[in-house]
Amino acid sequence: MSFTTTIKEEISRIKNTRLESISELSGFLRNNGTCTDSSIDLVTENATVAKRIYQLMKDLYDITCEIESRKNMNFSKNNLYLIMINEKVDFILKDLSIVDENGIFLETPSPYILDSEDEIRAYLRGVFLAKGSINDPKTARYHMELLIDEKKEAEFLSQLLNDFDLNSRVLSRDKGYMVYIKVAEKIGDFLRILNANQAVLYYEDIRIYRDHKNMTNRLNNCEQANIDKIIETATKQIEDIEYLKENLALELLDDKTKEVIDYRLKYPEASLLELSEIISYETGKPITKSGLNHRFRKIREFVSKMKGKI
């Protein structure tokens, strides 16, 4: 079972008030199926969603929908469930704010459909049941999308989502428009808006695990980069020392610098901080990382001057 299916089945069990049911059905019908003067045909791949729509229609309008199961011809193993409404069609379309009093299609629902935050949440649930999907965070990148036919509806939905600070965007597709969210935390917030509480727990557990794993990888990469830098620095210092040896120039250095050279050759893989601690401990003469770096810089300058004269 896909993560999207799990979410849809969970939110299909939510108990609504009458007004919330109207808002949810409005969101679903506006973005699903075909409406005529005499019938409303709705389609879903999810049997639980089909039962949800059937029950809401019965509770709100005292009608019995017909449901047919058909073979999906779009290379999907799931069946399609066709929900056919042949009673009170005109009243239902007007009551759900799909058309106005003159039967003209409304590009966006009337304000009473979204009169409270709970009704807005219900409307978004209806849209998600009709056209929504969310990638499983365990197996894919973070992504939530609503595939919407009409531009006005897509822009309207994006604005509703962004009123909840979800950073949604609208992208034009070959067939319709995609309203999407890519930010992991915002997708979790969207699931909370749907009241998909079990899905939130699953999603957040995976997201926290992935974030922790990514942080660990970044720390490991950073640590490896630091190790590489330490080795590179020590290698250059040893090359300078070997050059001085080959050119019999070590005797030209002062005793403190010679001491640093001896310790670098003795501990070739130590970082400057580690080397400063070793020298301080073994000689009883404290030296800081900065002081040690200063001495190696003097060696580098001395070598550069020698190379310039040769």
Chain centre distance of CA 131: 19
Question: Does the pLDDT at position 309 exceed 80?
Answer: no
Q: Which residue has the higher pLDDT, 211 or 297?
A: 297
Three-class DSSP category at 257: helix
Both 64 and 183 in a single domain? yes
Tokens of 111: 């304000």
Residue type, 44: T
Question: Does the pLDDT at position 75 exceed 60?
Answer: no
Both 189 and 272 in a single domain? no
Both 181 and 228 in a single domain? no
pLDDT in tens, 117-135: 999 999 999 999 999 999 9
**Considering only 12-26, 48-62, 140-154, 254-268, which range has the smallest mean pLDDT?**
254-268
Q: Domain limits at 287?
A: 220-309
- Please give the average per-residue pLDDT across 68-81, as a whole number: 74
- Do the Cβ atoms of 11 and 125 come closer than 8 Å? yes
Report if residue 188 sits inside a domain. Answer: yes
Q: What is the pLDDT of residue 174?
A: 84
Q: What is the pLDDT of residue 168?
A: 94
Query: In sequence order, what are the residues at sequence separation of 6 or more whose Cβ sits closer than 8 angstroms to the Cβ of residue 303?
Result: 240, 243, 244
**Considering only 7-16, 168-177, 250-259, 286-295, which range has the smallest mean pLDDT?**
250-259
Both 22 and 146 in a single domain? yes
Q: What is the pLDDT of residue 37?
A: 78
Q: What is the pLDDT of residue 219?
A: 65
Report if residue 215 sits inside a domain. Answer: no
Both 107 and 185 in a single domain? yes
pLDDT in tens, 78-88: 788 999 999 99
Phi first, then psi, for residue 180 (nearest 5°) are -140, 160
User: Minimal CA–CA distance to 244: which of 270, 271, 228, 262?
Assistant: 262
Report if residue 206 sits inside a domain. Answer: no
Report if residue 213 sits inside a domain. Answer: no
Both 116 and 54 in a single domain? yes
Average pLDDT of every residue of the chain? 88
Element (H, E) at 43: strand 40-44
Tokens of 295: 């001495």
Question: Does the pLDDT at position 89 exceed 80?
Answer: yes
Residue 144, exposed/middle/buried by CB under 10 A (0-12, 13-18, 19+)?
A: buried
Both 224 and 190 in a single domain? no
pLDDT in tens, 291-305: 888 888 888 888 888
Report if residue 232 sits inside a domain. Answer: yes
**Considering only 147-151, 201-205, 269-273, which range has the smallest mean pLDDT?**
269-273
Question: Does the pLDDT at position 73 exceed 80?
Answer: no
Q: Which residue has the higher pLDDT, 5 or 77?
A: 5
Helices (H), 96-246: 117-131, 151-163, 184-193, 197-246
Both 119 and 261 in a single domain? no
CATH number at 13 reads 3.10.28.10
User: What is the tally of structural domains in the chain?
Assistant: 2
Both 17 and 141 in a single domain? yes
Both 151 and 252 in a single domain? no
- Please give the average per-residue pLDDT across 19-30, as a whole number: 96
Residue 67, exposed/middle/buried by CB under 10 A (0-12, 13-18, 19+)?
A: middle
Question: Does the pLDDT at position 228 exceed 80?
Answer: no
Both 180 and 98 in a single domain? yes
Report if residue 64 sits inside a domain. Answer: yes
Q: What is the pLDDT of residue 121?
A: 96
**Considering only 174-183, 203-212, 287-296, which range has the smallest mean pLDDT?**
203-212
Report if residue 105 sits inside a domain. Answer: yes
Both 183 and 267 in a single domain? no
Give the sign of the dihedral formed by CA 115, CA 116, CA 122, CA 125.
Answer: positive
Q: 179, 195, 211: which is the final residue of a domain? A: 195
Report if residue 107 sits inside a domain. Answer: yes
What confidence category does residue 213 fall into, taking pLDDT thresholds of 50, 70 and 90?
low
Predicted TM-score (pTM) above 0.75: no
- Please give the average per-residue pLDDT across 19-45, as a whole number: 91
